[in-house]
Structure 1
């Protein structure tokens, strides 16, 4: 079985599963049968943290997780998110909306419970802080869901240390979820330490840098037009070509450690702190098995230091989000007060 880490009152596998790309973001999702097989394989391998959201596939991902995993509900910790979801536009098509008002949060929770086929969500995140609504109001509504027994614990995604502290004063925050990997180091500015201080778990999404760190994505021009990465500056052709030059030095360390690039990257994260829980996502069982193998990789202090020297804020080219997406997040940014 996999080693475990603490997530509030839960003991979960040290590596969880991000379910997003089974329905959303990276081009054409896999066939339903393939997605179902992957979820069940993860469960059989000992993964006990499954992460979804109302936004992913505009509810389709929660429906998938509910259909496949609800018969096994007692075997895992279920996380979902509110605050970002789809609403019909003038053309009748669903569009992405950020809305952290208390009434919207409560309605979103009810819809998620139905799609997930469960009576309670173990960990309910605010997917993004809607800055038009005080964080205290959004978290206050979420706290009422805890009192009603519909949610067990609360989380926040993409927030700063200051916002975490404000929210934590209203209701204990069990987890903060933010992008964190060798090439995204923003959490190291403040929120990673704030989580450690408050006893809050840090859940690292995109721990493999959206396909960059495993070294398998060589040609970004081959990404389909709907792929989320096409809007990200780091994946622009010139920046990405520069970033690819970092991989040979990483591969040398992976060879020393007798592991793959993906395992090296996840092992680095696991050694950043006992409160760090990566949630890589994949559509391939072979990739899932490879990722879980990172729990057996132990890196030396020298190897950890060399990794920091190779991939860091100065060496990575391009921002992680475009201007529109960056405006929606509350995480600290290098070069700014936070």
Structure 2
């Protein structure tokens, strides 16, 4: 697999998100998750992303039991489970969360530590100062920010260099192209794209609207509820036809499009099944291919917002 830069490390151009290990898309089990991690490593993936809130520590515990020391791990803190949903960025809370994450991960040091959501009341310069202390103490290799605006990145980076920014980015979520991806490139900050396969909408087969209420969070997501869901499947169908005609897997082509938007971009697709990994092989897209994809799926084609109002709390909006 091609390599890309993540802080002080070269990692596989495609990383691995472990949110699904925590059960947010449905039931899973430890043995299946461990098999999936082994298969990802065999496929050349060397960067694995988690968070304390994924299954309330379950995802981190699985990575800790996996026990690999030859991979780059990232975790996050800052979201306080609700209801109501809240965030905390104060130093005492960040330190507490980091120690708990390190215990679950069975690590004394982690390569990348994100603030999952920004607390508006705390100046970003103060937050960057807190994270700089953790770097200097050897607890973390670098820090990142998630779901932020370009202005926030610039302010934080001026106080202490940011390693990575993680925001949602895919064929149907293009907001980061309105300034954030460019700012990351200018500052030499890695842009880590989560949900690059649109939470499964760019999977091997078209999704069915059987999201289990209270288990799969897509059951309340505007893009996955009617009438938006059917409209989105219809909009994506010609892209599936293009992939079939050119011998691409749908996930592979969707990831290739993300990778083509900048050499500092690292997508982190997620899966609960090792069998899905073979679909992630990204074809080399020509300029003509990218034009065809852009014509079929232009910016803004998606029906419905990427989050419901309750999920947009503490996501920075800048356009």
**When the two structures are superposed, what TM-score results if normalisation uses the length of structure 1?**
0.90
Please say if residues 215 and 247 of structure 1, whose CA atoms lie closer than 8 Å, have aligned partners that are also in contact. Answer: no
Match of 1:325 among 304, 311, 319: 311
Quickly say closer, same or farther: Cα 1:279–1:215, change in 2 above 3 A.
same
Match of 1:301 among 277, 282, 287: 287
Inter-partner Cα distance in structure 2 for 1:111 and 1:214 = 34
Structure 1 residues not aligned, in runs of 5+: 90-94
Structure 2 residues not aligned, in runs of 5+: none
- 1:92 maps to none
Inter-partner Cα distance in structure 2 for 1:255 and 1:217 = 13
Deviations 1:178-236 (A, max 9, x none): 11000000100110000000000111100000011125343224434321112211111
Match of 2:29 among 31, 34, 41: 31
**1:253, CA displacement in angstroms?**
2.3
Q: Is the aligned partner of 1:189 residue 2:182?
A: no
Pairwise CA RMSD: 1.6
3-state SS, counterpart of residue 59 of structure 2: helix
Q: Is the aligned partner of 1:78 residue 2:111?
A: no
Quickly say closer, same or farther: Cα 1:236–1:215, change in 2 above 3 A.
farther
Inter-partner Cα distance in structure 2 for 1:181 and 1:170 = 30
Q: Note the 1:67-146 alignment, pairs <5 A.
A: 67-68=65-66, 70=67, 72-73=68-69, 75-86=70-81, 97-146=86-135
Q: Which sits farther off after the overlay, 255-264 or 141-150?
A: 255-264
**1:112, CA displacement in angstroms?**
0.8
Match of 1:40 among 38, 43, 61: 38
- 2:256 maps to 267
Please say if residues 18 and 50 of structure 2, whose CA atoms lie closer than 8 Å, have aligned partners that are also in contact. Answer: yes
Number of aligned residue pairs: give it: 319
- 2:200 maps to 211
**When the two structures are superposed, what TM-score results if normalisation uses the length of structure 2?**
0.95
- 1:252 maps to 241
Q: Which sits farther off after the overlay, 306-315 or 203-212?
A: 306-315
**1:248, CA displacement in angstroms?**
2.4
